[in-house]
A and B are shown apart, each in its own frame.
Chain A
Amino acid sequence: MPNLGELLGTLVGLIGSQFAASSLRLGPAPSIAIFLVVLVLLSLVARPATRWTTRDLGRLAMVPRAMALAAESGAAAAFSLGSAGVSRATSAFDRLQTLAALPVLGHVARTAARAGVPLRVTANDAVAVHLAEVTLDDAHRATETPERGERSRAEYVGEGRPVAAAVALTDAAWPAAAFVAGGLAEESLLMLQATADDADWTSAGTGAPSQAGSVLLSGDGALIGPELYQAPSDLRASGHDRTGVLASNRLILAVIGLVLVGSFAAVAAGVDLAGALAGR
């Protein structure tokens, strides 16, 4: 049995030999640049909430009201995770939108669980369905409503973008509130209109810029492009955080306005507004 020194020496030797067998694929500068990008991204993701929150993205603040109305009418809510999926043969850009939609689903699921509204989630990818099931379970656990978990479900509607649209078009369900969030393509208008026509309240979101028009025309609330990724950060923030961010944003805008007015007054009329404000 080797002693500790020999073990350490072997390990160091192994690492050394691996270093000796390695070379940089892209050269020193690009490699450092890649790690710098990761570092910058790390500093960005450290923010718990988006800084420049000036409005209610996708009108998601209306979700509790929509769920309350659904509970009163005894209707269900529907959530579609788009048509890109997670393990389907589409671009990584599209698939990441499905993952970005999961926190939105979590928010809707928690609100539905609290209100006692059954939530039906549909996706055209088995992995996305599994993620939705986990999100639903987590929502009922977080709201301590496990007895209502049986009424909510995630459904796999089959493979393909047209299939997702066709299922939405032929669905006989009449949800009180409907949500579509995730990757969408040319079938977006069919899917969104089929969902929106049945529901009393809708919110739709996609990161695909080419489908922005469909989202704008179909939903009461819309998450377009970067907003799909931005909304979950705002949802996570507590009421105090949001109020703080909104208040400080208004202060910043007021200061910018004051600086502009002061500059204009100084240039146009020679008025030293800054001096008056500072008591000089």
Chain B
Amino acid sequence: MRRSLPAATVVVVGLLLLLDYVVINPTLAALADLLLELLVLLAAGAALAGGVALVLRHWTEMVGRRADPLGSVVLLVGFAAILIAGLYPGSSGSTDPAVRWLVAALLAPLIASLFAMLFFFLLGAARRGLALRRRESSLMLAAAGVVVVLLLPIGGVPGDWLATAASWTLAVPIGGVFRGLLIGVAVVTAVHATRVLLAVNGADE
């Protein structure tokens, strides 16, 4: 009973939404809209609960001086700053200039700095990949090396030859692998979605 109720709910809701996609019926459409609204409300409630749990956890860590109290202080101050900017009397919410300034002047540069480290992390990942001595990693790095050579900014006849080879490599072998992965992922995604929809679970270990 504990397992069958959620499974039955998933099956009924999933089939109703599928039926609404195929059949035009006002009653069915109203029911599907209601279910989707409930889903949005559920996600919003869960996000709110997550935010409250995050604040409570870091408040407890800050008061109890456990883990990283300084980090907890930074998180709580940042949380409060965004909330105050978006909720003060007369604020226009997420489009308020104060919120926009916080995002543009603080959040965006922080994210940009984070992603600026990607190049250095790529080098670290290449070193780690070689250290692990995995065949797939070595193959990928070798292919990456070939692509880098093909994309070298060289002029003249060798440059033209390299550019043609680079285009062919990207369009044929690399494109083929990428398309194969996409097709494989699409098929298993559909199968997995059906498994979830019908709550199909095999015998566990």
Chain A positions near chain B (C-beta within 8 angstroms): 18, 21-26, 31, 34-35, 37-38, 41-42, 44-46, 48-49, 87, 93, 96, 99-100, 106-107, 110, 125-127, 129-130, 142, 155-159, 162, 165-166, 169-170, 172, 186-187, 189-190, 192-193, 196-197, 207, 209, 212-214, 216-218, 220, 222, 224-226, 229-230, 233, 235-238
Asked whether A93 lies within 8 Å of B189 as measured between CB atoms, the reply is yes
Closest CB in chain B relative to A120 CB, distance in Å: 12
CA distance A68 to B128 in the complex (A): 24
For residue A159, which residues in chain B have a CB less than 8 angstroms away from its CB? 47, 50
B63 at the interface (CB under 8 A from A): no
Asked whether A217 lies within 8 Å of B140 as measured between CB atoms, the reply is yes
Grouping DSSP codes into helix (H, G, I), strand (E, B) and loop, the B interface class, with mixed when no group exceeds half, is helix
Task: Say yes or no: A99-B192 contact (C-beta < 8 A), given A22-B25, A34-B22, A236-B202.
Answer: yes
CA distance A25 to B140 in the complex (A): 46
Chain B positions near chain A (C-beta within 8 angstroms): 18, 21-28, 42-43, 46-47, 49-51, 53-54, 57, 67-68, 71, 75, 110-111, 114-115, 117-118, 121-122, 124-126, 128-129, 132, 134, 136-137, 140-141, 144, 178, 181-182, 184-185, 187-196, 198, 200-205
Closest CB in chain A relative to B200 CB, distance in Å: 5
Asked whether B198 lies within 8 Å of A42 as measured between CB atoms, the reply is yes
Q: Which of A22, A45, A96, A226 contacts B23 (CB 8 A)?
A: A22
Closest CB in chain A relative to B43 CB, distance in Å: 4
For residue B185, which residues in chain A have a CB less than 8 angstroms away from its CB? 93, 207, 209, 225-226, 229
Closest CB in chain B relative to A196 CB, distance in Å: 7
Q: Which of B67, B68, B71, B181 contacts A225 (CB 8 A)?
A: B181
Asked whether A26 lies within 8 Å of B137 as measured between CB atoms, the reply is no
Task: Say yes or no: A156-B195 contact (C-beta < 8 A), given A45-B200, A48-B202.
Answer: no
Asked whether A207 lies within 8 Å of B23 as measured between CB atoms, the reply is no
Asked whether B111 lies within 8 Å of A25 as measured between CB atoms, the reply is no
Q: Which of A165, A186, A190, A193 contacts B128 (CB 8 A)?
A: A193
Excluding A31-B23, A106-B204, A107-B205, 12 further A-B contacts by CB distance (< 8 Å) are A22-B28, A24-B24, A34-B18, A35-B22, A44-B194, A99-B196, A126-B50, A189-B121, A225-B185, A233-B202, A235-B205, A236-B202
Asked whether A96 lies within 8 Å of B192 as measured between CB atoms, the reply is yes
Task: Say yes or no: A189-B125 contact (C-beta < 8 A), given A25-B23, A38-B194, A41-B190.
Answer: yes
* B139 closest partner in A (C-beta): A216
In the assembled complex, 29 residue pairs joining A and B whose CB atoms fall closer than 8 Å, in A order, are A18-B28, A21-B27, A22-B23, A25-B22, A45-B195, A96-B196, A106-B204, A110-B205, A129-B50, A156-B54, A162-B115, A165-B114, A166-B114, A186-B118, A187-B114, A189-B121, A193-B121, A197-B124, A197-B128, A207-B189, A216-B136, A217-B125, A217-B128, A217-B141, A225-B181, A226-B185, A226-B188, A236-B203, A236-B204
CA distance A213 to B144 in the complex (A): 10
CA distance A197 to B128 in the complex (A): 9
Closest CB in chain A relative to B144 CB, distance in Å: 8
